[in-house]
A and B are shown apart, each in its own frame.
Chain A
């Protein structure tokens, strides 16, 4: 047992942190909550790419760095700590690149991976449908074989990143006659095709990252199918473990935590800084404790991945835990701000650039994305604890 990071890892953390601080000092962007999913900044993504920080864990022969998942966790932890606008490359780096590395043909790797590594693939995640949420295998979007192509018809919803995408990762039904889990395939293709339309969905913060995406007779070459035809559902289960495993499930609103601590030190009530109030100290300490416990869950997941195992119950546990923590952080921030907590980012007198308000509302979605907490608890119960399914 050893809870220390290696010297090399500490050095890497420092390097990432120096880079991000430098960016902030130059005024290139401001730290914000949810920047991993809402901060679309192509220039930032280019700079991250030049650092070699996309595809960190991919094998070297695929253009990656062959580094560990702990290294990647360190990288994403720093990105989230500084609230960096990493949305342009986040999905491609986190899961799509990995899927191509894992399931792609040599030709696909040759075509797709360099584009992802250069930070040029802004990916939308086309999974959920109006009638297929937690029960993803019920999806209806069809991919019908036609010569060398598939014709795609149907509708996706809650498509993260759809408003900014130039590529889409899509799951669609390729065999309508097979049992529902056994007729699904995965596709990855440019959205620069006729028949695709996107309708952004405004969320309760007033922001957009969810979208509806419509496919009408979209002709996609067969070479866009990733992995094995009709085995897509099983590939997805594996990718979802990765999707759930990230630090964004604990630190999506981390900038709020730091701002809150600062606020309590600078704000006086009855002549004393809020940070001297025993109740507020207790609340902030509780958040710190919750964060540190969550970090240990996250590092455990990365270690499982470094051992070459899919972290299925571990990433379920860390995601349920982490998203509940993020929600608690937002709620506590509003409590501490009191009347000021209700002010929107656009309001006069709003403290902390409105991060508490934004985060309180946006965090409601955290426990739904990438597997609702209920589904994930079922996974834990059945796979870790081996309780019977009904």
Chain B
């Protein structure tokens, strides 16, 4: 047992932290949040140039052959920086899925495009039922000759407004099937929702969208177990981002508590404030430990259902506790729109409900316990 990061991981983390601190001041985050696209194409190119898109993909697909655990380090720093944009959708939700279950042709065609930053992908899964259950999928794909025809409404789809390709989950005759769909296909219409994180969650309506049978991803009708793996991977990825998010909130809060004076003393010298900060630190460390454990287990290819569920259930409860105390300690300045803290507050709330909230994952743990 060993909790230390490898030298490579340390380097990756430091490099990512420095790069994002330099390129992504909160004014830039604000610009991205307010833009139509929700990201900066320029920054996207630079990230691709650093090899971030293909970090964990094999070299033959333009990647760097590193592991999911290595990627987890990067995600933590992205959470720390509140990076907006379609990285998570493209790499975590889509790239890994293609790598996992795509045909050789599909991998050859799409993965290099992801690694180079040329294409943006997203996962089109959830619907107005707003859950991560198989029964929540009503969008239909009906076989017609060499094609399928997809019809239905998807909701809470991240980054569909800028995606070049979509991995779409739809109900086929005997189960759920995943498709790789060109986002420019006729019949797809996308509307951006207004969200707490100011990210680009969309409603995507499929009106008789024709997709070639060659674009089925994985086995027809066998998509649900694969989607469960996608949700698992996404949940771990989110936990890593959440770790970075609340670590930064804690760091900002501690700095503030050292600077801010009341009654002639820094407020950080008062026991109540110290105890709040200690509570925050305990939550942050628990979140990190469990996120790393889940990321490591998944990365090693070991069964990880319990580890993932524990990490996400924990993070889902720890984040709001940490953010509540961050605000309490920052006082009124922290609830102003010009203060950086609000980016984390809003982002953390969205992360909490994404890819299974705490009660969703508690039920997974209950099952794993044999209850």
> Chain A: residues with CB nearer than 8 A to chain B?
1-6, 9, 70, 261, 264-265, 275-276, 278, 281-282, 284-286, 288-289, 292-293, 296-297, 299-300, 303, 317, 320-321, 374, 376-378, 380-382, 384-390
A interface footprint on B239-277 (CB within 8 Å = 1, 0 otherwise): 000000000000000100110000001101111011101
Contact A296 B289 (CB under 8 A): yes
Select one of B2, B269, B362, B369 contacting A387, CB under 8 A: B269
In the bound assembly, the distance between CA atoms of A385 and B273 in angstroms comes to 12
Question: Quick check: is B314 within 8 A (CB to CB) of the other chain?
Answer: yes
List chain A residues, Cβ under 8 A from B265.
Answer: 390
The interface size bin for chain B is 35 or more
Question: Quick check: is B297 within 8 A (CB to CB) of the other chain?
Answer: yes
List chain A residues, Cβ under 8 A from B6.
Answer: 1
List chain B residues, Cβ under 8 A from A320.
Answer: 278, 282
Shortest Cβ distance from residue B131 to the other chain A in the assembled complex, whole angstroms: 15
In the bound assembly, the distance between CA atoms of A377 and B281 in angstroms comes to 10
Contact A378 B369 (CB under 8 A): no
**Which residue of B has the minimal Cβ distance to A378?**
B274
Q: How many A-B residue pairs have CB under 8 A?
A: 133
List chain B residues, Cβ under 8 A from A276.
Answer: 371
List chain B residues, Cβ under 8 A from A264.
Answer: 371
Contact B3 A303 (CB under 8 A): yes
Contact B3 A1 (CB under 8 A): yes
- Name 13 interchain pairs, CB-CB below 8 A, sorted by A: A2-B1, A261-B369, A275-B371, A284-B371, A288-B310, A289-B362, A293-B314, A296-B290, A376-B278, A378-B271, A381-B278, A385-B274, A387-B269
Question: Quick check: is B366 within 8 A (CB to CB) of the other chain?
Answer: yes
In the bound assembly, the distance between CA atoms of A388 and B293 in angstroms comes to 33
In the bound assembly, the distance between CA atoms of A388 and B267 in angstroms comes to 9
In the bound assembly, the distance between CA atoms of A296 and B363 in angstroms comes to 21
Question: Quick check: is B205 within 8 A (CB to CB) of the other chain?
Answer: no
List chain B residues, Cβ under 8 A from A374.
Answer: 271, 275
Select one of A284, A288, A300 contacting B3, CB under 8 A: A300
In the bound assembly, the distance between CA atoms of A317 and B284 in angstroms comes to 11
> Chain B: residues with CB nearer than 8 A to chain A?
1-6, 9, 69, 254, 257-258, 265-266, 268-271, 273-275, 277-279, 281-282, 285-286, 289-290, 292-293, 296-297, 310, 313-314, 359, 362-363, 365-366, 369, 371
Shortest Cβ distance from residue A18 to the other chain B in the assembled complex, whole angstroms: 22
Contact B369 A284 (CB under 8 A): yes
Whether A285 contacts B365 in the complex (CB less than 8 A), given A293-B314, A387-B268, A389-B269, comes out as yes
Shortest Cβ distance from residue B119 to the other chain A in the assembled complex, whole angstroms: 31
Select one of A5, A9, A70, A387 contacting B257, CB under 8 A: A387
A276-B371, A281-B362, A378-B278 given; 4 more Cβ-contact pairs under 8 Å: A299-B3, A303-B3, A378-B271, A381-B268
**Which residue of B has the minimal Cβ distance to A276?**
B371
List chain B residues, Cβ under 8 A from A275.
Answer: 371
In the bound assembly, the distance between CA atoms of A300 and B282 in angstroms comes to 13
**Which residue of A has the minimal Cβ distance to B297?**
A3
Select one of A261, A289, A303 contacting B1, CB under 8 A: A303
List chain B residues, Cβ under 8 A from A378.
Answer: 271, 274-275, 278
List chain B residues, Cβ under 8 A from A9.
Answer: 1
Contact A293 B1 (CB under 8 A): no
In the bound assembly, the distance between CA atoms of A309 and B332 in angstroms comes to 40
In the bound assembly, the distance between CA atoms of A386 and B265 in angstroms comes to 15
Shortest Cβ distance from residue A275 to the other chain B in the assembled complex, whole angstroms: 5
In the bound assembly, the distance between CA atoms of A285 and B359 in angstroms comes to 9
